[in-house]
Chain A
Amino acid sequence: MSARYAIGIDLGTTHSALSYVDLEASDGENTAHGVLPVPQLTAPGTVEALPLLPSFLYLPHPDELAPGELALPWNTDGETLVAGDMARSRGATTPIRLVSSAKSWLSHPSVDRRAAILPTDAPEEVARISPLEASTRYLAHLRQAWDSAHPEAPFDQQQVTVTIPASFDPGARELTAEAARNAGYTSATLLEEPQAALYSWIQGSNGAWRKQVKAGDIVLVVDVGGGTSDFSLIAILEVDGKLEPHRVAVGDHILLGGDNMDLALAHLVARKLAANGTQLDAWQMRSLTYGCRGAKEHLLADANATTWPIVVPSRGSKLIGGSIRTELTREEVTTFITDGFFPRVEASARPAVRTRAGLTQLGLPYAQDAAVTRHLAAFLARQAGATAELEGFAGRVTPEHSFLHPSAVLFNGGVFKSGILAQRVMDTINDWLYMEGAEPARMLEGADLDLAVARGAAYYSYARRGGGVRIRGGTARSYYVGVESSMPAIPGMEPPIQALCVAPFGMEEGSELELPGQEFGLVVGEPVHFRFFGSTTRRQDRIGEVLDFWGPDELQEQNEIQATLPADGRMPGDVVQVTLHALATEAGTLELAAVARDGQRWKVEFDVRTPS
């Protein structure tokens, strides 16, 4: 297998993209790279190659489109599902047939991600698809786009990296890897998006990054995408005289992004219109959302503009009489976006958590607090000790610090095209730093906000071959299974549970660890469930360590995991003694395996639907 290209794929909540590095034309840190224009339907029978593939699927009614109108360059008979630009625009007028935010569903712990559940509000007759299938479709579309553009370098022979949020749990990572396999990716590697953003920044600097950061720096990556916010901390170490970035912490999964902001503004303007007696339908609401996005970008880019007009075109052919003109004012944008999503809060602020109503409709677990800065404050406070163990960072962190002090910030995501918002985040962080007597953090310049993740992923594919700088760090969490402690049963009390560390923090890719001294009896043919926990802060726990108690913030319970021993070669009902092994795969996923004394192994599944 001789790869000619290193390919990076940004599988985003709202947009996907494919970037590549030409290996033959690249040497060391000088890379020749590009972004593949992705052919996609933009209207029936119309195919355009655009740099981004909107991550939307449309499931058309059999009578809805004339035959042959869904042909793509690689499938002249036409697809049954539409992916990309046309899916998004059609779906805006027929939302019951639109699959969106498949990635958020893929990481939704309380639904069966292999079950056909999307679109959630589709009527009976629409054949729904699973979040896994939707992700597979986007990935397959990108593969086919590549193959039709580069017949000389087939996709499955190239080095491919697919990005995921740093906050994805092992189950969601596993499912992404599975989607990639189903889409015909023979050897895809996973990479966390904030890392990809840093790779892209390193690549874009053409070597100058060594002047912008120094050993001892802690880079905070703030990635606010279309649908999710993702934070990571990357420490810069000096190893053998060379700078080496280490990813030391990742944040929680926060479903909050740029699209929420546009929608919030659109609802604000719609309320304003409704007060004047103008009601908007779903179609007008969509163009209002587009209009608000444009107005927001103008107002946030130009500090002198006080208002920006928005026109919602009429739906019928009478354009002039039927259009609705309104405007967005600076005050509204400041109140709603700058102060609503990026308020200047104290370092001690925490996101508000409301207890959810008992009967909630099945939907995505959106962040309950819209303030990105509050989520950021919570993240930095939780990670106050993230660098304590690192070489060269010993003196930098003192117990008086109530949060981890970043020294540089890298922004990613279209939201930060607005200098005002990036500046607001910088000012807020620097306020926190000032209050603790620390130097202000600086903003790393030159980030490419839209395509950084895809570019960085391609660079990572390239770096894996030994071409460039690599970020170290290993797994971003430690993992535990719940074990009932051997205490005498007390009536009316649940037996207390202990947490047994099965995978420590920072396992490097390709490493395998065996849980010492602990054997489990598995019954052949019967699934065994374990409660499963993850921690982003407990860096010191070794494999086999047993925790009797832990802080409420330290361990997060994940979905149950399950091991089933197939009956082949054994008698059903037999009990087999197994040990647990943790394996950080080269592909970037974590695997747990049950290994019998005779060496036979079974995979422990993360993605198990807990019967509720």
Chain B
Amino acid sequence: MSTPTQLPSFWSRLSLAFGTFFKTVGDAEFAARVRDDQVGPVAAPPAPAPVAPPAPAPVAPAPVLLRETTPEAALQLLTLLQREARLIDFAHENLAAYADADIGAAARVVHEGCARVLKDHFTIAPVRSEAEGARVTLEEGFDASSVRLTGNVVGKAPFKGTLSHRGWKALDVRLPQLSREHDASVLAPAEVEL
């Protein structure tokens, strides 16, 4: 996470919100600071605090569940990239030992397979529809997570600049479902020909 703005991510904001909630309820002095610091909720009643995480409330156990599935999804993606594109084989090779023509031949396998995995399991679209090199204007309140400001970052929005990379965004992820007993850590089974 190399966001230059140092903004907390969604999950850290979530845990921050929960922490603030319980501290506001339990610690009157802290609650008073929240009330008076011009940043937190101004109204005194503690009601606003629960309003802050309205949607996450029923999803409260979600962070735990996701932490469990994340490595599995990553392993799954690696399995797919190995199966279709031989990516792990490729990355483990020592390129110094081969001529560029040989590497090029293998790169075709990897490229074709990676493209297939991306196409079959994700819907990927550019963040910005303008051509690279075009002048763009970022209005106030633009989404800082999908547009990164670089270079002479000073002043106030609207920001005017040149689009150097269009960015990518996954509109849809379609990873295969796994059976309960499936061991996702086996990225490619050993093969034994009888």
A residues within 8 Å of B by Cβ?
Answer: 39, 42-48, 66-71, 73, 76, 78, 93, 294, 309, 311, 313, 315, 317-321, 323, 325
B89 interface hit (Cβ, 8 Å): yes
The docked-state distance in angstroms from the alpha carbon of A434 to that of B110 is 50
Closest 4 CB pairs of A and B: A45-B182, A68-B181, A325-B105, A319-B89
Whether A42 pairs with B89 at a CB distance below 8 angstroms is: no
Instruction: Known A-B contacts: A319-B86, A323-B105. Give 4 more (CB < 8 A).
Output: A45-B181, A45-B182, A48-B174, A323-B102
Contact with A along B13-31 (1 / 0, CB 8 A): 0000000000000000000
Identify which of residues 91-127 in chain B touch chain A, using a CB-to-CB cut-off of 8 Å: 92-93, 95, 97-98, 101-103, 105-106, 108-110, 112
> B4 an interface residue at 8 Å Cβ cutoff?
no
Q: What total of A-B pairs shows CB separation below 8 Å?
A: 83
Partner of A317, one of B89, B102, B176: B89
A318, B93: Cβ atoms closer than 8 Å = yes
A47 B179 Cβ-Cβ under 8 A = yes
Q: Is the CB of A319 within 8 A of B109?
A: yes
Q: Is the CB of A313 within 8 A of B181?
A: no
Contact yes or no, B176 A321, CB < 8 A: no
Q: Are A69 and B181 in contact (CB under 8 A)?
A: yes
Contact across chains for A44 and B89 when beta carbons are under 8 A apart: no
Interface size on B, residues (CB 8 A): 30
Report chain A residues within 8 Å CB of B86: 313, 319
Chain B nearest CB: distance from A413 CB in Å?
A: 23
Residues of B within 8 A of A318 (CB): 89, 93
Question: Is there contact, CB below 8 Å, between A46 and B178?
Answer: yes
11 pairs, CB–CB < 8 Å, chain A vs chain B: A39-B177, A45-B183, A46-B178, A48-B176, A48-B177, A68-B179, A315-B191, A319-B86, A321-B102, A323-B106, A325-B101
Q: Does B180 contact A (CB under 8 A)?
A: yes
CB proximity of A578 to chain B, nearest CB, Å:
56
Residues of B within 8 A of A (CB): 76, 79, 83, 86, 89-90, 92-93, 95, 97-98, 101-103, 105-106, 108-110, 112, 174, 176-183, 191
Residues of A within 8 A of B191 (CB): 93, 315
Contact B181 A67 (CB under 8 A): yes
Report yes or no: B181 in contact with A311, Cβ–Cβ below 8 A: no
The CA of A567 and the CA of B80, in the complex, are separated in Å by: 62
Pair A309/B108 contact, Cβ less than 8 Å: yes
Which residues from chain A contact B102 at a C-beta distance below 8 Å? Answer: 320-321, 323
Q: Closest CB-CB distance, A45 to chain B, in whole Å? A: 3
Q: Report how far A67 CA is from B79 CA in the complex, Å.
A: 20
Contact yes or no, A42 B176, CB < 8 A: yes
Task: Point out the residues of chain A lying under 8 angstroms from B179, CB to CB.
Answer: 45-47, 68-71, 76, 78
Asked if B180 and A320 sit within 8 Å, CB to CB, the answer is: no
Q: Which of A78, A315, A317, A323 is within 8 Å of B92, CB to CB? A: A317
Residues of B contacting A315 in the complex (Cβ-Cβ under 8 angstroms): 191
Q: Which of B83, B86, B109 has the most CB atoms of chain A within a 10 A radius of its CB?
A: B109
Instruction: Write out the residue numbers on chain A whose beta carbons fall within 8 Å of the beta carbon of B79.
Output: 43, 46
Among A39, A44, A76, A319, max chain B CB count under 10 A is at A319
Check if A43 sits within 8 Å of B83, measured CB to CB.
yes
Q: Which residues of A contact B76 (CB under 8 A)?
A: 46
A319 touches B181 (CB 8 A): no
The one of B98, B105, B108, B177 that contacts A46, using a Cβ cutoff of 8 Å: B177
Shortest CB distance B79–A (Å): 8
Instruction: Name which residue of chain A comes closest to B94, CB basis.
Output: A320
Given that A69-B181, A69-B182 are known contacts, is A319 also in contact with B106, CB under 8 Å in the complex?
A: yes
Contacts of A320 in B (CB 8 A): 90, 93, 95, 98, 102-103, 105-106
Contacting pair B178 A323 (CB below 8 A): no
Measured between C-beta atoms, what is the minimum distance from A279 to chain B in Å? 15
User: Is B105 a contact partner of A311 (Cβ separation < 8 A)?
Assistant: yes
Residues on A with beta carbons closer than 8 Å to the beta carbon of B93 = 318-320
Which residues of chain A are within 8 angstroms of B178 by Cβ–Cβ distance? 45-47
> Distance (Å) between the CB of B3 and the closest chain A CB?
34
- In chain B, what residue has the closest Cβ to A43? B83
Closest to A89 in B: B83
What residues of B have a CB within 8 angstroms of the CB of A76 in the complex? 179-180
Verify A46–B181 contact, CB threshold 8 A: no
On chain B, the residues within 8 Å of A311 by CB distance are: 105-106, 108-109
B74 shortest CB reach to chain A, Å: 15
Interface centre among B97, B112, B177 (most CB of A within 10 A): B177
Which of chain B's residues have a CB closer than 8 A to the CB of A68?
179-182
Are A313 and B109 closer than 8 Å at their CB atoms?
yes
